[in-house]
Amino acid sequence: MPLIACPACGHQISIEAVACPQCGHPNRPAPPSPAPQTGPKCCLCPAPATTRCQGCNMFCCPRHVQSIYVQHNQGGANELRCPSCYESAMNWKIFGFVFAAIVAVIMLALITGIASR
């Protein structure tokens, strides 16, 4: 096994030695410290994101997502939405209810108009 001189005391040590047995000087460089985990950050705060908004795919933390039932083609599902997408989905829900109410009033007016003739 090859020997090298210790940089601190000059004593001959093995290249496999972790430290010099004479003075304790480390023979190997310290392993690099692991880099901090850098994952996605929330779109609204510096907290780590744990989910994506299902409307716009922005990363969000649990504090900034809200669940809302969203109608799809043949049904619907609860989705996690960021505040802006949640507000948009709520506006569409309100629009749908208002539209249905207007259609119901028109239908009722037509039915009562036909019945009174």
What per-residue confidence (pLDDT) applies to 71?
A: 81
DSSP 26-69: BSSPPPPPPPPP--PBPSSSSSBP-EE-TTT--EE-GGG-EEEE
3-state secondary structure of 71: strand
- Indicate the Cα dihedral angle 71, 75, 76, 77, nearest 10°: 180
Which pLDDT band holds residue 17 (cuts at 50, 70, 90)? confident
Residue 29 in this model has a pLDDT that exceeds 90: no
Q: Across the chain, what does the average pLDDT equal?
A: 86
Confidence of residue 74 (pLDDT cuts 50, 70, 90): confident
Mean pLDDT over 58-73 rounds to 88
- Res 117: pLDDT: 65
Confidence of residue 50 (pLDDT cuts 50, 70, 90): confident
Section 77-91 average pLDDT: 91
Q: Determine the average pLDDT of the residues in 36-55.
A: 85
Q: Answer whether 25's CB lies under 8 Å from 32's CB.
A: no
